[in-house]
């Protein structure tokens, strides 16, 4: 990969990082715990669901930020290795890097790392 291509990826990664940092955290409403308030079971369930969604959004943002920071580190510390799959050391497809400049693996190796479609639950309560 040429130096000007790496510079373009670095610029794109920095823009993506800044976009994540300027996003506001989703607001999480506290659950009401005072006994004098009338209990509304529907509102409580909706509130809990909103909290879960906000928490998942925050986790996703942090994960994306971590991936971008890792890509920037690779780009700065080992510029010749940027764009190579961490598993097989083959070049990651240019289109994949254009869409996801933080990609660490080629499509084939990423497919091996991902869980099968639909995921596999070990227990009924395992939601991942």
Whether the pLDDT of residue 85 is over 50: the answer is yes
Mean per-residue pLDDT, 102-117: 87
Residue by residue, DSSP assigns the chain as --HHHHHHHHHHHHHHHHHHHHSPPPP-PPPP--TTSPP-HHHHHHHHHHHHHHHHHHHHHHHHHHHHHHHHHHHHH-GGGTTB-TTT-PBPPHHHHHH-TT--S-HHHHHHHSPPTT---SSTT---
- pTM of the entire structure? 0.70
**Mean of per-residue pLDDT scores for the chain:** 83
Q: Where are the domains of the chain?
A: 3-28+43-113
> Which of 9-13, 43-47, 87-91, 123-127 is predicted least confidently?
123-127
Q: What is the CATH number of domain 3-28+43-113?
A: 1.20.120.910
């Amino acid at each position: 990969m040429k130096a000007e291509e790496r510079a373009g990826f670095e610029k794109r990664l920095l823009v993506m990082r800044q976009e994540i940092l300027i996003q506001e955290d989703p607001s999480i409403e506290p659950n009401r715990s005072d006994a004098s308030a009338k209990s509304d079971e529907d509102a409580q369930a909706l509130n809990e669901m909103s909290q879960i969604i906000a928490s998942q959004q925050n986790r996703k943002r942090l994960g994306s930020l971590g991936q971008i920071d890792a890509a920037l580190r690779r780009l700065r510390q080992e510029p010749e290795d940027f764009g190579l799959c961490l598993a097989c050391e083959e070049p990651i497809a240019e289109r994949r890097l254009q869409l996801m400049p933080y990609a660490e693996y080629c499509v084939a190796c990423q497919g091996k790392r991902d869980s099968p479609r639909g995921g596999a639950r070990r227990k009924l309560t395992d939601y991942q």
